[in-house]
Amino acid sequence: MLKVAIYGKGGIGKSTVTSNLAAAFATMGKKVIQIGCDPKADSTMNLLGGEPLRPVMNYMREEDEEPEKLEDIAKEGFGNVLCIETGGPTPGLGCAGRGIIATFQLLEDLKLFETYKPDVVLYDVLGDVVCGGFAAPIREDYAEKVLIVTSGEKMALYAADNISKAVKNFEDRSYARVFGIVLNHRNVENENEKVETFAKEHGFDIVGEIPRSDEIIRYEDQGKTVIEGNLESDISKCFYDLAEILWKDEEQV
């Protein structure tokens, strides 16, 4: 089972990368689960026709009980990708990181992985905060590989540096490792050079590049991934290339 956590600064495009990867794997015939680990709970919308999914934490808060079956908190989207959103507490109250931990425990209780038997599991994780909850996908052995999504912007690289430090803190415990950098272009000055320097300094490979594209925006306005909108496009190929790299590495393990 390929298990990947995608981290990045808020607004850097990690949800776009994650959902398009999920769609790419699905069209490659893989059984995929995507778990959004961000309080905004918008990771899976473009797999679900633009419709938001009721987050796990909302269910537990509104129903005042834990869901008894997977169907209460999950929904299949494009390519039969199983979509789940952790959500978070009421704004201003509680800790979103604890919400992720609680959700993961619930998914264990519901025997998600044993029941669904996925080929690929993708976690879309906020990277501005690296507290224990947001580090759960890497420290609790849920994910084995980490992708860091960044542009050449200063704050995106700052967040990427913090994420790399967080992952490094667990490197002696056989937890997830950084597999590589995904450069999501924002067309800032000397962007390639900045990200290449960052990658070299940290010993990472740039395993994917996503050009800035109106095509992505156009299809997201329709509630779609670019894979669903036009799987033959050059942008779709970027996501397929990344999916192939990840799957090939998994097969070699």
User: Per the residue annotation, which of 14, 145, 194, 224 is the catalytic one?
Assistant: 14
Is 3 tagged catalytic? no
In the numeric block, the tokens 């509104």 are attached to 62
Is 194 tagged catalytic? no
Please give the DSSP secondary-structure letter assigned to residue 149: E
AA identity, residue 53: L
User: Per the residue annotation, which of 128, 141, 161, 249 is the catalytic one?
Assistant: 128
Contacts of 25 (CB under 8 A, 6+ apart): 32, 79, 119, 120, 243, 247
CA-to-CA distance for 217 and 40, rounded, in angstroms? 19
Closest CA to 18 of 184, 250, 212: 184
User: Per the residue annotation, which of 40, 42, 141, 241 is the catalytic one?
Assistant: 40
Q: Which helix (H) or strand (E) holds 236?
A: helix 234-252
User: Per the residue annotation, which of 9, 145, 194, 224 is the catalytic one?
Assistant: 9
**Is there a contact between 142 and 5 (Cβ–Cβ < 8 Å)?**
yes
Is 14 tagged catalytic? yes
In the numeric block, the tokens 């979509």 are attached to 83
**Is there a contact between 151 and 57 (Cβ–Cβ < 8 Å)?**
no
Give the dihedral sign, CA 195/38/74/45: negative
Is 117 tagged catalytic? no
Closest CA to 208 of 177, 154, 244, 232: 244
- Residues annotated as catalytic are 9, 14, 40, 128
